[in-house]
């Protein structure tokens, strides 16, 4: 593994920018906390924290702003998203610096977040009007019963986002909520608060009225709980364990929620796969953002016929990855974000090795680069009983398994409680597609790792099993933020016996009517 030249990351963020962004947070009522750049260990800021009073204020402002916003035509709201699209792309240098500084990730993976926001803004701007239009379904008595289904915004949506993809997960979920006529209270992770504040700043400069998208700051268990206690809908991204807590809190209040949770995602190399292509793309699928990606591949099942070739290529490609921390595109892999991340990664690898696994690549922390750097790591001979076999590592660690048949690969891929993302490689794409349909995951990429499905934002994305419930992207990612209201107008005749008609004759008439409707195949 080669090493790119080292420079300090945190030095690059201008102080006046930090101060301006922090001024946008609804915070300051609780003691501030220090936040450090993971790649360099340097302090980024004293981050103000939100008190319960701050959260109350944010919600009161949001509710009043939302009432006006709900009356703004969808076309105007969509135009705002288009402006956000353009500004995020035009001002990307600033946000790439912020994301890199706050997360420690490489610039190329920070750029994935910029494109994610642009793609989502474009998709919802162009589809929003159609998706949010009122519908006129058939009434119980055609012509006599006129029905209209209206879409109403939920009100104030809480978007509680994690630190690993702070722009993509904080902003791309907020934009459709705003488009649907809601206000949004964002609760970013403290580590990545500046990123979300930058997105809010862009939206306001693009014309979003003040108060519609606000950030409150603080630890999840404290501030998150207070936010859920006041929100009308919760959009949460994070671990499955916390997802359960959020679901209980939302369930207590009978509000809706969408949970995007963890994964232990498999990649299958079938007997007829283009092994060289699979071994190339697998590198990105496993190690994007140093593996701190929910869609990241952590298990690879390879048909015995191609196992040796795949492993040789994959190990070689992984060994070529460069690590670094400059705020530029000169290397591929950055730092992990927290001490607990490197602890988990080290524990998973050490436990596996102690129980007989072999390290084919990496396997070491790199304190020479920074406190939380860890080499992209490939393990073989991983078995049940090793922690890494079932638990999500959420770091740069993948296990490679030899399987005798493609059928075995499917069975082992499905042997997990998670079901977020999967990848299937085969030259016969029809067969690969059939196999993909048998994998228990919310998205499966054929001859790609994760970006084909994730980047196709017209299609929903989300998890099965303990990977979550609810979807982002596609119509589902917008319609979760609305309630429907059915307005039915009955004209001329009532849906009841006519004057003088017995209840028995009414029942007979209705029986005849229902039979006729079925014959006419009326729904
Ligand atoms: P986590 O659940 O511990 O924390 C995620 C965020 O939730 C943090 O910002 C945290 O402060 C906050 N939080 C914690 N407890 C809370 C509570 N009671 N109420 C409200 N908020 C609370 O997860 P993590 O380990 O920090 O993040 C990584 C996890 O997120 C991984 O499991 C990863 O797979 C998952 N993830 C999933 C997706 C997805 O789209 N499915 C995307 C990114 C990350």
Indicate if the pLDDT at residue 3 is higher than 60: no
pLDDT of residue 6: 36
Token readout for 404 is: 């005798």
Cβ atoms 401, 416 nearer than 8 A = no
Nearest ligand 1 atom to alpha carbon 241: 2
CA of 168 to the centre of ligand 1 (A): 14
* Spatial distance between the Cα atoms of 388 and 471, rounded to a whole number of angstroms: 27
Cβ atoms 185, 254 nearer than 8 A = no
Residue ID of nearest Cα to ligand 1 atom 30: 238
pLDDT of residue 169: 98
CA of 378 to the centre of ligand 1 (A): 25
Among residues 102, 113, 226, 260, the one annotated as catalytic is 260
Indicate if the pLDDT at residue 8 is higher than 90: no
Indicate if the pLDDT at residue 350 is higher than 60: yes
To the nearest whole number, what is the mean pLDDT of the chain? 96
pLDDT of residue 478: 98
pLDDT of residue 314: 98
* Spatial distance between the Cα atoms of 377 and 247, rounded to a whole number of angstroms: 34
| pTM score of the predicted model | 0.95
The candidate with the shortest Cα–Cα distance to 460, out of 451, 450, 470, is: 470
Nearest ligand 1 atom to alpha carbon 338: 26
Nearest ligand 1 atom to alpha carbon 260: 41
CA of 162 to the centre of ligand 1 (A): 5
CA of 429 to the centre of ligand 1 (A): 35
pLDDT digit string (tens) for 278-330?
999 999 999 999 999 999 999 999 999 999 999 999 999 999 999 999 999 99
Nearest ligand 1 atom to alpha carbon 238: 30
- Segment 136-151 shows an average pLDDT of 94
CA of 161 to the centre of ligand 1 (A): 7
Residue ID of nearest Cα to ligand 1 atom 14: 220
Residue ID of nearest Cα to ligand 1 atom 20: 224
* Spatial distance between the Cα atoms of 401 and 404, rounded to a whole number of angstroms: 10
pLDDT band at residue 523, thresholds of 50, 70 and 90?
low
pLDDT of residue 142: 86
pLDDT of residue 11: 59
pLDDT of residue 441: 98
* Spatial distance between the Cα atoms of 82 and 76, rounded to a whole number of angstroms: 10
Nearest ligand 1 atom to alpha carbon 263: 34
pLDDT of residue 213: 98
pLDDT band at residue 4, thresholds of 50, 70 and 90?
very low
Cβ atoms 104, 325 nearer than 8 A = yes
- Segment 262-267 shows an average pLDDT of 98
Residue ID of nearest Cα to ligand 1 atom 42: 294
Indicate if the pLDDT at residue 7 is higher than 60: no
Of 238, 257, 345, which is best to mutate to test ligand 1, by the most ligand atoms within 8 angstroms of its C-beta?
238
Residue 129, burial from CB neighbour count under 10 angstroms (0-12, 13-18, 19+) = middle
Nearest ligand 1 atom to alpha carbon 191: 9
Q: Does residue 260 have an active-site annotation? A: yes
Handedness of CA 54, 60, 61, 63 (dihedral sign): positive
Q: In what order do the strands lie in the sheet with 377-380?
A: 358-361, 377-380, 397-403, 297-303, 265-269, 421-425, 443-446
Indicate if the pLDDT at residue 160 is higher than 60: yes
Angle (CA) 251-253-256 rounded to 5° is 60
Share of the chain above pLDDT 70, in %: 98
Among residues 102, 127, 226, 294, the one annotated as catalytic is 294
- Segment 264-280 shows an average pLDDT of 98
CA of 239 to the centre of ligand 1 (A): 4
Pocket residues for ligand 1 (CB within 6 Å)?
A: 160, 162-165, 169, 189, 219-221, 224-225, 237-239, 242, 245-246, 260-263, 294, 392, 394, 420, 463, 468
Cβ atoms 443, 454 nearer than 8 A = yes
Residue ID of nearest Cα to ligand 1 atom 6: 162
pLDDT band at residue 12, thresholds of 50, 70 and 90?
confident
Indicate if the pLDDT at residue 5 is higher than 80: no
- Segment 22-45 shows an average pLDDT of 96
pLDDT of residue 521: 75
In the three-class reduction of DSSP (H, G, I as helix; E, B as strand; rest coil), residue 398 is classed as strand
pLDDT digit string (tens) for 447-496?
999 999 999 999 999 999 999 999 999 999 999 999 999 999 999 889 99
Partners of 183 in the β-ladder: 156
């Amino acid at each position: 593994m080669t090493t790119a030249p080292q420079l300090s990351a945190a030095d690059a963020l201008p102080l006046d920018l930090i101060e301006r962004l922090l001024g946008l947070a609804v915070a300051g009522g609780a003691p501030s906390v220090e936040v450090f750049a993971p790649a360099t260990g340097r302090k980024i800021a004293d981050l103000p924290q939100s008190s319960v009073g701050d959260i109350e204020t944010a919600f009161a402002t949001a509710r009043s702003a939302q009432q006006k916003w709900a009356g703004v035509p969808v076309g105007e709201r969509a135009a705002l998203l288009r402006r956000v699209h353009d500004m995020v792309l035009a001002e990307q240098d600033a946000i790439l610096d912020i994301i890199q500084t706050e997360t420690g990730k490489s610039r190329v993976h920070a750029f994935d977040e910029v494109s994610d926001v642009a793609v989502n803004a474009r998709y919802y701007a162009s589809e929003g009007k159609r998706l949010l239009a009122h519908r006129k379904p058939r009434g119980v008595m055609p012509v006599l019963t006129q029905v209209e289904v209206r879409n109403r915004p939920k009100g104030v949506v809480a978007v509680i986002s994690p630190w690993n993809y702070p722009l993509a997960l904080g902003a791309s979920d907020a934009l459709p909520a705003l488009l649907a006529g809601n206000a949004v209270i964002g609760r970013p992770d403290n580590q990545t608060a500046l990123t979300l504040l930058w997105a809010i700043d862009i939206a306001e400069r693009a014309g979003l009225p003040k108060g519609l998208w606000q950030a409150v700051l603080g630890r999840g268990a404290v501030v998150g709980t207070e936010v859920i206690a006041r929100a009308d809908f919760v959009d949460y991204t994070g671990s499955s364990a916390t997802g359960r807590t959020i679901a209980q809190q939302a369930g207590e209040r009978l509000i809706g929620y969408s949970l995007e949770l963890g994964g232990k995602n498999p990649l299958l190399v079938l007997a007829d796969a283009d092994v060289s292509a699979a071994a190339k793309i697998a590198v990105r699928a496993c190690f994007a953002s140093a593996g701190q990606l929910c869609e990241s591949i952590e298990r690879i099942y390879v048909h015995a016929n191609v196992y040796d070739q795949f492993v040789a290529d994959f190990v070689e490609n992984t060994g070529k990855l460069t690590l670094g921390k400059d705020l530029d595109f000169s290397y591929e892999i950055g730092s992990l974000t927290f001490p607990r991340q490197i602890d988990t990664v080290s524990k998973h690898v050490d436990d596996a090795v102690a129980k007989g696994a072999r390290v084919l690549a990496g396997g070491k922390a790199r304190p020479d680069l920074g406190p939380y750097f860890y080499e992209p790591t490939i393990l073989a001979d991983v078995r049940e009983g090793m922690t890494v076999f079932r638990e999500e590592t959420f770091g740069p660690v993948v296990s490679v398994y030899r399987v005798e048949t493609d059928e075995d690969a499917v069975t082992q891929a499905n042997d997990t409680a998670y079901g977020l993302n999967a990848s299937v490689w085969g030259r016969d794409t029809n067969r690969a597609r059939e196999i993909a349909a048998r994998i228990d995951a919310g998205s499966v990429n054929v001859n790609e790792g994760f970006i084909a499905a994730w980047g196709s934002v017209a299609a929903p994305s989300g998890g099965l099993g303990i990977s979550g419930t609810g979807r982002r992207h596609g119509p589902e990612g917008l319609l979760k933020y609305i309630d429907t209201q059915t307005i039915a107008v009955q004209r001329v005749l009532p849906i009841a016996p006519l004057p003088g008609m017995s209840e028995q004759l009414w029942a007979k008439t209705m029986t005849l009517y229902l039979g006729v409707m079925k014959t006419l195949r009326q729904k």
